């Protein structure tokens, strides 16, 4: 169909045109099947997808449309990060440990997407068990950044980010434990939202760090982020941390630049120091100036305890990971060693040691150490103290301003291999995103320009807990003034 | 503080076995990471916080203690690497 053009479609448009009868679900599916076949292998974005299954789903959704069901995501293809369970479709967390695993159930977010008329378009590559910031820790090889294939796409939701950036799907799901939606969205020039902790069910998300993990949407527009958030939000009896209160519709509340009038923006002073790359600083300050010209009130705020976020995060996340990943034992599911003659204990050890990659083992070891007798008070308890202070600092800042402004990373995407041999240097790059997870806040990245080498830059906005709608209205207002994704496309 | 013996002890607690190369890597990198996180030492002991009670301050829900539908045995067993009937197969437990 002639009006199905690469980089012109959004989930919002697709849903409207499909519901209006202008496009069929099948035509949209075929358009994206062709793009995925052409580009996904080179970029290494997909771990599993099945065109026959996509077309079978299209048929089901067409029938539901004919039956006049209300489908807010009618015919919208959604790529799913491979740490989210999809019934009968392989879910590996990009790990040898789960090679061949087919979950017996859909995660709640998948059930909600299907119910809303979406097409589950496949599973995206990511860092193993979502542990990484570059997508180089996948057992199935790194994802390449579509803007420059010598660079990382960010992580851990790198496959989802790169696929949306290359328009292999209009939208995708990622998960964000310490920045894993926002940083790859920023590195790939798309929008990505980490909702407030508790807004989106984690049932069926393979747990990494349960007090930090949150599923969220990735898209090429904030309007699409809102459309997906409305479908994903809501209480789930299967997740004890999901909030019961209902949420008003966000997509219909997005206004234009008028949302900036009187909006109090706070520049987080600690993130604009000498460690921030010049190109990133210039793009962020230009975005802030533009918002100021349209009525936003800008001031600096200080969150001094953010200096503790890397230490607190890596201890808490590793501690929770060491407990969560204890379930992988080679007995009930997942990889089992082929070695014979082992005792039960030896079998579990051998299976885990063969199945997990280096970074996962490292974090399990760090977490086990931090929780072990004699070290708990010195490490884990102190990390919790850091977390409390950071949450208090954010609360204080939100007494002064409505939305905080920050980078997503100290620089644009880095070269493949540049940091992969030095875990601490990789961790240090996460400084701009970790505090949000420790405090359970909503935050997003929206494109705000390119550095001199042509790599994208993202603007991070952060709001108080449960103010996801305010966050999206602010980002949408900026996007209306400066729609970067409409102005430039990656060179495929 | 971190040395090969401690790394092997922690690996044992984590049900992992490390090759010599992996153990060397772990000694080097865990030491660097622990040096870095030592900056937390100056922090006071934490008071009970929102982070302990559930972020966002919303209350936890309890449900009635009633049986709920769950997976059929065949479905639950479908991913087992080794099984016998409806049982997961494991090595001998009693030596």
**Tens-of-pLDDT digits for all 492 residues of chain A?**
568 999 999 999 999 999 999 999 999 999 999 999 999 999 999 999 999 999 999 999 999 999 999 999 999 999 999 999 999 999 999 999 999 999 999 999 999 999 999 999 999 999 999 999 999 999 999 999 999 999 999 999 999 999 999 999 999 999 999 999 999 999 999 999 999 999 999 999 999 999 999 999 999 999 999 999 999 999 999 998 999 889 999 999 998 788 999 999 999 999 999 999 999 999 999 999 999 999 999 999 999 999 999 999 999 999 999 999 999 999 999 999 999 999 999 999 999 999 999 999 999 999 999 999 899 999 999 999 999 999 999 999 999 999 999 999 999 999 999 998 888 888 999 999 999 999 999 999 999 999 999 999 999 999 999 999 999 999 999 999 998 888 889 999
**CATH class for the region spanning B1-42:** mainly alpha
A240 and B32 in contact by Cβ < 8 A? Answer: no
pLDDT at B11: 98
pLDDT at B94: 73
Select the residue from B26, B37, B80 to test the A interface by mutation, using most A Cβ atoms within 10 A: B37
Q: Which residues of A touch B16 (CB under 8 A)?
A: 349, 352-353, 356, 361, 364-365
Q: State residue A116 phi and psi, 5-degree precision.
A: -85, 0
Distance from CA of B19 to the nearest CA of A (A): 9
A364 and B14 in contact by Cβ < 8 A? Answer: yes
**Facing residues of B84 across strands?**
B87
pLDDT at B59: 57
Q: Which residues of B touch A324 (CB under 8 A)?
A: none
| CATH superfamily, region A11-256 | Amidase signature (AS) domain (3.90.1300.10)
Distance from CA of B58 to the nearest CA of A (A): 7
B1 touches chain A (CB under 8 A): no
B16 and A349 in contact by Cβ < 8 A? Answer: yes
Distance from CA of A201 to the nearest CA of B (A): 14
Q: Could you give the CA distance from residue A467 to residue A168 in angstroms, rounded to a whole number?
A: 31
Strands A191-194 and A119-124: unpaired
A431, A432, A454, B44 from A488: Cα distances, Å = 28, 26, 10, 49
Residues 6+ apart with CB under 8 A from B22: A358, A361
Which residue in the list A156, A175, A209, A221 is annotated as catalytic?
A: A156
**Facing residues of B88 across strands?**
B83
Q: Which residues of A touch B76 (CB under 8 A)?
A: 104
B91 touches chain A (CB under 8 A): yes
Distance from CA of A290 to the nearest CA of B (A): 32
Q: Could you give the CA distance from residue B29 to residue B48 in angstroms, rounded to a whole number?
A: 32
Look up residue A349 and give its DSSP letter: H
A424 and B55 in contact by Cβ < 8 A? Answer: no
In this predicted structure, the answer to whether residue B54 has a pLDDT above a threshold of 80 is: no
Under a CB-based contact definition with an 8 Å cutoff, are residues B13 and A372 in contact? Answer: yes
Q: Which residues of B touch A346 (CB under 8 A)?
A: 91
Q: Span B54-78, mean pLDDT?
A: 78
User: Domain coordinates of chain A in residue numbers?
Assistant: 11-256
Q: Which of residues 61-80 of B touch A (CB under 8 A)?
A: 61, 63, 71, 75-76, 78-80
A198, A201, A240, A244, A249 from A235: Cα distances, Å = 8, 7, 9, 5, 15
Q: How many CB atoms lie within 10 A of CB B87?
A: 11
Residue found under tokens 């905080």: A404
Indicate the SS3 state at residue A70: coil
Task: Look at the alpha carbons of B69, B72, B73, B79 in this order and tell me if their dihedral is positive or negative.
Answer: negative
Q: Could you give the CA distance from residue A102 to residue A12 in angstroms, rounded to a whole number?
A: 31
A30, A120, A141 from A1: Cα distances, Å = 10, 22, 35
Q: Which residues of A touch B91 (CB under 8 A)?
A: 342-344, 346-347
Nearest CA to A177 out of A317, A358, A357, A305 is that of A317
Residue found under tokens 């949450």: A391
A311 and B15 in contact by Cβ < 8 A? Answer: no
User: Domain coordinates of chain B in residue numbers?
Assistant: 1-42
Q: Could you give the CA distance from residue A460 to residue A467 in angstroms, rounded to a whole number?
A: 15
Under a CB-based contact definition with an 8 Å cutoff, are residues A212 and A177 in contact? Answer: yes
Helix, strand and coil content of chain A, in percent to the nearest 5, comes to 45, 15, 45
Please give the full DSSP string across A390-425, using - where no structure is assigned.
HHHHHHHHHHH-SEEEEESSSSSPPBTTSSTT-HHH
Residues 6+ apart with CB under 8 A from A236: A108, A201, A203, A242
The ipTM of this complex is: 0.91
Q: Could you give the CA distance from residue A167 to residue A172 in angstroms, rounded to a whole number?
A: 11
pLDDT at B64: 85
Select the residue from A104, A176, A434, A436 to test the B interface by mutation, using most B Cβ atoms within 10 A: A104
Under a CB-based contact definition with an 8 Å cutoff, are residues A276 and A410 in contact? Answer: yes
Indicate the SS3 state at residue A301: strand
- Worst-scoring range by mean pLDDT, A103-107, A363-367, B17-21, B49-53? B49-53
Q: Could you give the CA distance from residue A85 to residue A103 in angstroms, rounded to a whole number?
A: 6
B33 and A366 in contact by Cβ < 8 A? Answer: yes
Q: Could you give the CA distance from residue A51 to residue A71 in angstroms, rounded to a whole number?
A: 22
Residue found under tokens 């479609």: A9
Q: Which of residues 32-51 of B touch A (CB under 8 A)?
A: 32-34, 36-37, 39-41, 43-47, 49-51
B13 touches chain A (CB under 8 A): yes
Is A81 annotated as catalytic? yes
Judge if pTM exceeds 0.90: yes
Please give the full DSSP string across A162-197, using - where no structure is assigned.
HHHHTTSSSEEEEE-SSSTTHHHHHHHT-EEEEPPT
pLDDT at A486: 83
Nearest CA to A234 out of A343, A355, A112, A353 is that of A112
pLDDT at B52: 54
């Amino acid at each position: 169909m002639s009006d199905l053009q690469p980089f012109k479609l959004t989930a919002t448009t697709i849903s409207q045109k499909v519901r209006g009868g202008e496009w069929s679900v099948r035509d949209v599916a075929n358009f994206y099947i062709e793009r995925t076949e052409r580009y996904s292998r080179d970029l290494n974005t997909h771990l599993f997808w099945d065109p026959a299954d996509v077309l079978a789903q299209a048929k089901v959704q067409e029938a539901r449309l004919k039956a006049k069901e209300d489908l807010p995501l009618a015919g919208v293809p959604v790529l799913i990060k491979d740490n989210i369970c999809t019934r009968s479709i392989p879910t590996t967390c990009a790990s040898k440990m789960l090679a061949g695993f087919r979950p017996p159930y859909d995660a709640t977010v998948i059930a909600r997407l299907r119910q809303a008329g979406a097409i589950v378009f496949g599973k995206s590559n990511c860092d193993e068990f979502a542990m990484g910031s570059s997508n180089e820790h996948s057992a199935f090889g790194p994802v390449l950044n579509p803007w420059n294939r010598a660079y990382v796409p960010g992580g851990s939701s790198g496959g989802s980010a790169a696929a949306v950036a290359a328009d292999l799907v209009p939208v995708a799901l990622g998960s964000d434990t310490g920045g894993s939606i926002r940083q790859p969205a920023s590195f790939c020039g798309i929008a990505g939202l980490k909702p407030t902790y508790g807004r989106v069910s984690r049932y069926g998300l393979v747990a990494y760090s349960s007090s930090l993990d949150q599923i969220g949407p990735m898209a090429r527009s904030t309007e699409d982020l809102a459309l997906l958030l409305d479908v994903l939000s809501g209480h789930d009896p299967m997740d004890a941390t999901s909030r019961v209160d209902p949420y008003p519709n966000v997509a219909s509340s997005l206004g234009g630049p008028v949302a900036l009038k009187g909006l109090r923006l706070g520049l987080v002073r600690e993130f604009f120091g000498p460690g921030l790359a010049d190109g990133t600083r210039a793009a962020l300050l230009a975005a802030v100036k533009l918002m100021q010209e349209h009525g936003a009130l800008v001031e600096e705020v200080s969150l001094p305890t953010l200096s503790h976020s890397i230490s607190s995060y890596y201890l808490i996340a590793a501690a929770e990971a060491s407990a969560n990943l204890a379930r992988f034992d080679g007995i009930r599911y997942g990889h089992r060693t082929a070695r014979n003659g082992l005792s039960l204990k030896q079998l579990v050890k051998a299976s885990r040691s063969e199945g997990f990659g280096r970074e996962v083992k490292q974090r399990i070891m760090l977490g086990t150490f931090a929780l072990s007798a004699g070290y708990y008070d010195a490490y884990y308890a102190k990390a919790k103290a850091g977390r409390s202070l950071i949450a208090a600092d954010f609360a204080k800042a939100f007494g002064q301003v409505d939305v905080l402004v920050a980078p997503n990373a100290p620089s644009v995407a880095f070269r493949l291999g540049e940091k992969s041999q030095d875990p601490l240097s990789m961790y240090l790059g996460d400084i701009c995103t970790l505090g949000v997870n420790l405090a359970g806040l909503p935050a997003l990245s929206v494109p705000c320009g390119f550095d001199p080498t042509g790599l994208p830059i993202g603007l991070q906005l952060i709001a108080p807990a449960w103010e996801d709608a305010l966050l999206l209205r602010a980002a949408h207002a900026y996007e209306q003034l400066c729609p970067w994704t409409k102005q430039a496309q990656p060179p495929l | 503080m971190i040395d090969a013996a401690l790394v092997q002890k922690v690996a044992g607690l984590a049900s992992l076995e490390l090759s010599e190369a992996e153990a060397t890597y772990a000694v080097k990198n865990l030491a660097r990471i622990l040096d870095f996180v030592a900056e937390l030492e100056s922090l006071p002991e934490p008071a009970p916080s929102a982070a302990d009670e559930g972020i966002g301050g919303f209350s936890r829900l309890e449900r009635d203690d009633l049986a709920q539908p769950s997976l059929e045995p065949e479905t639950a067993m479908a991913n087992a690497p080794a099984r016998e009937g409806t049982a997961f197969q494991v090595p001998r437990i009693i030596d």
